[in-house]
Amino acid sequence: MLLGIISDIHGNAHALNAVLDELDRRGVDLVLCAGDLVCYGAQPNQVIAALLERGIPAVMGNYDHAVAWDLPTASRKPSSPRTEPLKLAALHWTQAIIEPALKRHLRRLPFAAEFRVDGVSIHMVHAGPDHLDDWYTPDNGDDLAHFACRVRADVVVLGHTHQPFVYQGKDLTGDRGPLFINPNAVGRSLDGDPRASFAVFDTATRHAEIVRVDYDLDAAVAAIRQTDMPVEISLLIRHAARRVEQLDLVTG
């Protein structure tokens, strides 16, 4: 079977629709979502409704949790001084416009989910085994080794960092561990490439591929500017920047 793996949609329905169209074109049998359905983009309600309509299983991301429970922040650590106010503005705007039924759906999202597809066991979380804003990348293999020892799965799907990777993990003894897959972000790229990102995993070959696709970026940016969110949020999306400070380099 072919699995589509998505994460970090962040309220960007334009990007999500392009990704789902591409997954359909590729004949994907099942789509899994590693959380952060909402915040930053202007269509959080449409994003949640689309996943519900297609029956796409999702786990809870840190922004989903903050919107679901009306929390004052989505992260344990603040961002840069100029970026943190934008994160909070996106969060509070989303909390204000989320539909009650969809808010209840966010509250029901699980912290982790387990799947078995064609004999392949899959463990999916948003960020890590302990917190919704854990930070795991191949840059620190020791952290992933500890993670590997805590799950019994062939594949671990995670998101949150907005950094794509396919990494063959090892446990603390050096034995083969799970294959870690982070598909990057559908709707909030941070690496200078504003295209949407996802992964495709073949259960027969156990091969994973990271894919980027174009979407109607102009429409997504225009939709944000029609809200009362700060205009800088639309610039972060357009330029695929993590922090406001990076915009100084691209906008002059």
Q: Which helix (H) or strand (E) holds 6?
A: strand 2-6
pLDDT digits (tens, 9 = 90+) for 175-184: 889 999 999 9
Per-residue model confidence (pLDDT) at position 251: 62
What pLDDT is stored for residue 124 in this prediction? 98
- Of 154, 183, 143, 148, residue with least CA distance to 166: 183
Domain borders along the chain are 2-112+183-251
Angle (CA) 95-100-104 rounded to 5° is 95
Which string of b and e fits 30-50 if b means at least 16 CB within 10 Å? bbbbbbbbbbbbbbbbbbbbb
Q: How confident is the model at residue 252 (pLDDT cuts 50, 70, 90)?
A: low
pLDDT at 203: 97
Does this model's pTM top 0.95? yes
- Tens of pLDDT, residues 33-87: 999 999 999 999 999 999 999 999 999 999 999 999 999 999 999 999 999 999 9
Residue percentage of the chain with pLDDT more than 90:
92
How confident is the model at residue 173, as a pLDDT?
79
What is the band of 25 on the pLDDT scale with cuts at 50, 70, 90?
Answer: very high
For 100-105, what is the mean pLDDT?
A: 98
Instruction: Supply the mean pLDDT for the chain.
Output: 96
Of 51-60, 84-93, 154-163, 238-247, the least confident = 238-247
Right CATH for 2-112+183-251 from 2.40.160.10, 3.40.50.300, 3.50.30.60, 3.60.21.10? 3.60.21.10
Q: Which of 18-22, 137-141, 160-164 has the lowest mean pLDDT?
A: 137-141
Mean pLDDT of 205-231: 98
Indicate the residue type of 211. V
Q: Given a cut of 90, is residue 140 above it in pLDDT?
A: no
| Percent of the chain residues topping a pLDDT of 70 | 99
pLDDT value at 249 more than 80: no
| Mean pLDDT across 132-161 | 94
Count of Cβ atoms closer than 10 Å to residue 247 Cβ: 17
| pLDDT of 217 strictly over 60 | yes
